[in-house]
Chains A and B, each alone.
Chain A
Amino acid sequence: MLTKKLNKVSERQVTLEAKDLTIDFPKAKKSLFSPREYLRALNGLNFKMYDRHCLAVVGESGCGKSTSARIATKIHHATSGSISYRGRDVDTIVSNQDLRDYRRDVQMIFQDPFGSLNPLHTIRYHLERPLRIYFDITSRAEMEDRLAAILNQVGLTPAKDVLEKFPHQLSGGQRQRVFLGKTLAIGAHVILADEPTSMLDVSIRIGVLNLMNQMKHEMGKSFMYITHDIATARYIAEETLVLYCGHMVEFGDTEEITQNPQHPYTQLLLAAAPDPNRSIHDKLPTYRSQETPVWSPEKMGCPYATRCPQARVECFEHLPEVKEIAPDHFIRCHLFS
């Protein structure tokens, strides 16, 4: 049995917190004189990440999963709303020193381990640089010790050989481990992992997830695990956030969400996920029309209303409020208000 519950609810400390996060992206103009139109990628998103916990962000492609992580790393800027890190709004982090400190604490891991390491440099270069930039290491011996320790922690042994290798000599799983090692080298506390395992082979995937679990428990890191595979989310995450079309749909304890989903969309998503205990003939819950809408600032109502079998008039008229239906189980649906 996995030991997921490490902290008691009362002891949880919030690391990253999003409040009413909204972001609009400008669309290409149809002509020079037509008014600028916007696409709303995230709309009023709220979530909390806790220390030593993993938050899984699940949803279909284009639902804003990566965008939320990108706002947290300051790659994108929110149109309105805010993300705060340990109580401080990340928008107020502007000076070079503050930015450096923030980026040391909050790191991102990308989906494609083949594109994110420089093919012209050895693993030593990739791991040494963050150590040089963030820490004052002068002696050669100390650097070697540090590098070896990091590689051992992420399960890349023998460290001496791995350091001299180039990225193309490593497998996808090993490269993802190098990346996790990099976040360890920097000393990051919060790691935003954007589909870190979706390009890896099945036999290697679990190894990387287990390493993330271990980093969480033994080194006290917290993770945001962005994925479309809800089964792996159940495996490593304490909390799960379900997104649909840039809106929070359901947020809460992972077991609660996967075993007792309340929102019609979460129910559909879970019923569709592959599971060997099911059969392909099992019927999906009913839903209408298959197109996921593209959200814009002018649109009203619940984004899922067009597909929801239980949609009522009010669902098309205004966006439901977020409601806490059980302790730590939040839902955004008119059926519960």
Chain B
Amino acid sequence: MTALIEVKNLCVDYITLNGRVRAVNNVSFTIEEGEILGLAGESGCGKSTIAFALMRLHRPPALISGGEILFNGENILDFDEESLRKFRWKDTSMVFQSAMSCLNPVKTIEYQFYDIFKAHGAVASRQESIVKARELLNIVDIPEERLFDYPHQFSGGMRQRVVIAMALALKPKLLIMDEPTTALDVVIQREILQKVYQLKQQFNFAVLFITHDLSLMVEFCDRIGIMYSGQLVEVAESKAILTQPQHPYTFGLGNAFPTLTGELKAMTGIPGMPLDLSNIPSGCRFAERCFKASELCRQTEPALHYQPERGWAACHQVLPVTARTGQDIPTEDVY
């Protein structure tokens, strides 16, 4: 497999009255063709900011201040407006949290499909657009005759499926999903994600999946990146994130989700609050909330290191493989 998108040392700043706030700091990762990468973390940790940066959707006061985003070897940050316009939706498309606010309430679904095709010169006539839109509704299991309906006539789950159909209209290589199912009920959520997975197998696009629900992410993704206050602190295979966390933050996150099956354990969460990005201490950003923090952690910032068989982690005190099974760290006493 080859890297479809390669992000190198990406930095995104927000310019505020009190100076620059770095929302994404030196983040590097790759997404391979046909892979599902998840980004998890608390609100304000920069996961959505990365998603917006990948499509260059940021407007002032946000500013991409450094790094490279290579899509099939081309740096997106060097694109001019015209090539950006072609790149967006054709190569990378995005599904947002609120489907209703993505759809134009005064136009029919049919028109909105036509709008996409027309903007990219994908169809010659309205008739051709209708045929294509019908096919797309079919693949997301919406009856064809609903094509001429308005967004308000659909239920929440159907709207999100319409948005997914639109995102797939031009057969993109990468689909970014920013909390696509947070507003939906669990049954519909699972239905939609199963559908996306099935379509992924069919059309072989890659997915960047963003959510704060780690349980869901472990089920859906191949690899997961954990973010904390603008930095990537761990990237590993999805199962390993819960079973063999390396970073104490990942360990804490895994401890914050009660399970539906198995023994009921007392959980602890993570003490303290997320970092204020306008006032960043020296050393590791998580040190203040970390149970393993040492003097070294408070002074020097750890870099991402690759652990064979385990993945990447940015931590001076990488947890042993057995951390989760509880021999080395008794979960009840840690936090």
Q: Which residues from chain A sit less than 8 Å from chain B, CB to CB?
A: 1-2, 4, 60-61, 171, 173-174, 201-207, 210, 228, 230-232, 234-235, 255, 258-259, 268-270, 272-281, 284, 290-291
Provide the B28-51 mask, 1 if CB < 8 A to any CB of A, else 0. 000000000000001100000000
A201 and B212 within 8 A (CB): yes
A-B contacts, CB under 8 A, total: 124
Asked if B149 is at the interface of the complex by the 8 Å CB criterion, the answer is no
Q: Shortest beta-carbon distance, B314 to chain A, in Å? A: 18
Could you tell me the distance between the alpha carbons of A1 and B264 in the complex, rounded to whole angstroms? 6
19 A-B residue pairs with CB within 8 Å: A1-B266, A2-B264, A171-B273, A173-B273, A201-B274, A202-B214, A203-B256, A205-B256, A210-B269, A228-B185, A235-B258, A272-B187, A272-B190, A274-B190, A275-B219, A276-B259, A278-B219, A284-B190, A290-B188
- Of the listed residues A61, A174, A210, A276, the one surrounded by the most CB atoms of chain B closer than 10 A to its CB is A276
Q: Which of B68-76, B113-121, B171-179, B191-199 contacts A (4 or more CB under 8 A)?
A: B191-199
B260-293, CB under 8 A of A: which get 1 and which 0? 1111111111110110000000000000000000
Restricting to B225-266, which residues have a CB under 8 Å from any CB of A? 242, 252-253, 255-266
B contact face: mostly helix, strand, loop, or mixed: loop
Nearest-Cβ distance from residue A272 to partner chain B, whole angstroms: 4
Cα of A135 to Cα of B326 in the assembled complex, Å: 48
- Asked if B89 is at the interface (CB within 8 A of a chain A CB), the reply is no
Chain B residues positioned under 8 Å from A290 (CB to CB): 155, 157, 187-188, 191
Residue of B nearest to A202 (CB): B256
In the complex, B15 has a CB within 8 A of chain A: no
Cβ of B321 within 8 Å of any chain A Cβ, yes or no, is no
Given the interface pairs A201-B212, A201-B274, A202-B42, the reply to whether A234 lies near B252 with Cβ below 8 Å is: no
Q: Pick the contact of A60: B186, B190, B252 (CB < 8 A).
A: B186
8 Å CB contact of A272 from B189, B220, B255, B261 = B189
Query: A276-B218, A278-B219 are contacts. A258–B260 as well, Cβ < 8 Å?
Result: yes
B302 → chain A closest CB, angstroms: 20
Tally of contact residues, B, Cβ under 8 A: 44
Instruction: Report Cα–Cα, A258/B261, bound state, in Å.
Output: 8
Contacts of A272 in B (CB 8 A): 186-187, 189-191
Judge whether B263 and A1 touch: CB under 8 Å: yes
B213 within 8 Å of A by Cβ?
yes
CB atoms of B219 and A207 under 8 A apart? no
Q: Are A202 and B191 in contact (CB under 8 A)?
A: no
Separation of A278 and B43 alpha carbons in the complex (Å) = 25
Report the bound CA distance from A60 to B255 in whole Å.
25
Please state if B253 and A203 are interface contacts (CB–CB under 8 Å). Answer: yes
Q: Known interface pairs A202-B253, A281-B197. Does A235 touch B219 (Cβ–Cβ under 8 Å)?
A: no
A204 and B257 form a contact (CB under 8 A): no
Q: Does the CB pair B265–A1 fall under 8 Å?
A: yes
Q: How far is the CB of B162 from chain A (nearest CB, A)?
A: 14
Within the complex, what minimum Cβ distance (angstroms) separates A225 from chain B? 12
Q: How far is the CB of A258 from chain B (nearest CB, A)?
A: 6
Name B216's closest neighbour in chain A (CB-CB).
Answer: A274
Selected from A1, A4, A277, A284, the residue in CB contact (under 8 A) with B261 is A277
Contact check, A202 vs B219: say whether CB atoms are below 8 A apart.
no
Q: Which chain A residue lies CB-closest to B158?
A: A290
Residues of chain A with a CB closer than 8 A to B294's CB: none
Q: Is the C-beta of B215 less than 8 angstroms from some C-beta in chain A?
A: yes
Q: Which partner residue on chain A sits nearest B193 by CB separation? A: A280
Q: A2-B264, A202-B214, A274-B213 are in contact. List 4 more A-B contacts (CB 8 A).
A: A60-B187, A234-B258, A269-B187, A291-B155
The answer to whether A284 and B186 touch (CB under 8 A), given A202-B214, A258-B260, is: no
| Contact residue among A60, A171, A230 (Cβ-Cβ distance under 8 Å from B260) | A230
Chain A residue at smallest Cβ distance from B211: A274
Of B185, B194, B265, chain A has the most CB atoms within 10 Å of the CB of B185
Q: Which residues of B contact A202 (CB under 8 A)?
A: 42, 212-214, 253, 256-257, 269
Interface-central residue, B193, B260, B261, B274, by most chain A CB under 10 Å: B260
Bound-state Cα–Cα, A203 to B219, Å: 19
Do B253 and A206 touch across chains, with their CB atoms under 8 A apart? no
| Min C-beta distance of A131 to chain B, whole Å | 27
List of A residues within 8 angstroms of B212 by Cβ: 201-202
The answer to whether B216 touches A235, judged by C-beta atoms less than 8 angstroms apart, is no
A203-B256, A281-B197 given; A61·B262 CB < 8 A: no
* Bound Cα distance from A328 to B43, whole angstroms: 40
Tell me the bound Cα distance from A2 to B214 in angstroms.
22
Collect the chain B residues with CB atoms within 8 Å of residue A280's CB: 190, 193-194, 197, 219-220
Give Cα distance in the complex from A4 to B265, angstroms: 11
Given known A-B contacts A276-B257, A278-B219, A284 and B213 have beta carbons under 8 A apart: no
A231-B259, A231-B260, A272-B187 known; A206-B268 Cβ under 8 A: yes
Q: Give CA–CA (A272, B259) in the complex, Å.
A: 13
Q: Are B185 and A276 touching (Cβ within 8 A)?
A: no
B188 CB, nearest partner CB in chain A, Å? 7
Question: Which of B43, B258, B263, B265 interacts with A232 by CB under 8 Å?
Answer: B258
A273 to chain B, nearest CB (A): 5
Chain A residues with CB under 8 A of B260: 230-231, 234, 258, 270, 273, 275, 277
A246 → chain B, closest Cβ, in Å? 15
The residue on B at minimum CB distance from A204 is B269
Cβ contacts under 8 Å, A277 to chain B: 259-262
Q: Scan residues 75-93 of chain B and give those whose CB is less than 8 A from a CB of chain A.
A: none
Bound: A204/B253 CA distance, A: 10
In the bound assembly, the distance between CA atoms of A268 and B260 in angstroms comes to 14
Beta-carbon nearest neighbor of B332 in chain A: A1
Q: Please, how many angstroms separate the alpha-carbon atoms of A206 and B197 in the complex?
A: 30
Q: Which of B155, B194, B259, B274 contacts A275 (CB 8 A)?
A: B259
